[in-house]
Amino acid sequence: MGIIKPKYAIALHGGAGTILRNKITPAEEANYMHTLADCLKVGQLLLAAGSDALSAVVATTIALENTPLFNAGKGSVFTHTGGHEMDAAIMCGQSLKAGAVAGVSRIKNPIELAQAVMQNSQHVFLSGGGAEAFAATQNIPVETDDYFFDAYRFKQWQQVKNTGITQLDHADEKKFGTVGCVAFDVNGNLAAATSTGGMTNKQYGRIGDTPIIGAGTYANNNTCAVSCTGHGEYFIRAVVAYDISCLMEYRGLTLQQACDKVVKDKLLQMGGEGGVIAIDKNGQIEMTFNSEGMYRACANDTQSTVAIYS
């Protein structure tokens, strides 16, 4: 039986990890579920109205960055020095253009800055002070430290700040709260976006997989769009997003086979925990993870799903 190609499709994640049912109250769970659904709606409505995949992934990622529930934008984790250093990347599957920023502070929506790098600079990847100086030329909104302060993230950091431990978002639950979105639009174009605060207590200057094109984020109209979440050091070494695309392009695997191979086989063997959301050129969606759960949601023109656990 042939596949049913939807008019459009979208998927998002709010991080993967050891998300255990008995650690989350029903009220917290409901909050996560309706927030994921609300953020999904943002991109879904755009795609249904004929917007392009890039606009949909940016708008959805901004919505995710603006909620303190996830480790990106507002709600980003604390670094070892008590600040916030955020990473983000975007890629257009049609043009293969990409934009990324790493180690930025005060930028309200890092994904917006990554998009500006892609569209308005001669470069693909800007970091730290250089990225912030570029943001000032683009009228990208900035916020004070107060905006990024979150009591829960602060408590997480206090627990590990003198231990030398670099922690993935949540100690007890080992949760990766990065956000991301992939989309397939009515013209068959793909796009991917990912944004993160990285890891609690991370060393000054540490950069994870999120802003690295091919590791945490990738899109190519010939294959798929991918956004990752998990232990970044492993995702960088496994070049996860591009590997999924390559397995489709050069080995002829389906999206599901490629995601399973990379996430449940290769990454697992290396000890890398986490997951991916991905959409192929026919609008088929995969949300694959090797952890207990992944905050995720997806939709096309006929159905939608919101889920946390496996």
The token duo for 156 is: 């997480």
Binding of residue 247 to ligand ASP (CB under 6 A): no
Any contact of residue 223 with ligand ASP (CB under 6 A)? no
- How far is the C-alpha of 97 from the C-alpha of 213, rounded, in Å? 10
Binders in 114-153 for ligand ASP, by CB under 6 A: none
79 as an active site residue: the answer is no
Helix axes 110-120, 128-137, angle to 10 degrees: 80
For ligand ASP, which residue of 44, 156, 210, 300 counts as binding (CB under 6 A)? Answer: 210
Tally Cβ neighbours within 10 Å of residue 137.
10
Among the candidate windows 55-63, 194-202, 246-254, 278-286, which touches ligand ASP by CB under 6 A?
194-202
Tell me which residues in 43-72 interact with ligand ASP (CB under 6 A).
Answer: 71
Q: Helices 53-65 and 110-120: crossing angle, nearest 10°?
A: 150
Tell me which of 112, 169, 260, 273 binds ligand ASP, using CB under 6 A.
169
Binding-site size, ligand ASP (CB under 6 A): 16
User: What distance in Å separates the CA atoms of residue 233 and residue 262, rounded to the nearest whole number?
Assistant: 15
Please say whether the beta carbons of 244 and 211 come within 8 A. no
Q: What are phi and psi of 115, to 5 degrees?
A: -65, -40
The two three-digit tokens of residue 287, written as one number:
């949300």
61, 79, 178, 200: the catalytic one is 178
**Smallest distance from ligand ASP to CB 176, Å:** 3
Query: Segment near ligand ASP (CB under 6 A), from 3-11, 113-121, 225-233, 300-308?
Result: 225-233
CB of residue 175 to ligand ASP, shortest distance in Å = 8
176 binds ligand ASP (CB under 6 A): yes
Q: Are 215 and 242 in contact (CB under 8 A)?
A: yes
Closest CB to ligand ASP among 178 and 288? 178
Cβ atoms of residues 199 and 76 within 8 Å: no
Q: How far apart are CA 116 and CA 136, in angstroms?
A: 11
* Sole window of 53-61, 105-113, 173-181, 183-191 interacting with ligand ASP (rule: CB under 6 A): 173-181
> What span, in angstroms and rounded, lies between the C-alpha atoms of 188 and 8?
8
What amino acid positions are annotated as catalytic residues? Answer: 178
Q: Which residues bind ligand ASP (CB under 6 A)?
A: 15, 71, 169, 176-178, 196, 198-199, 208-210, 216, 229-230, 232
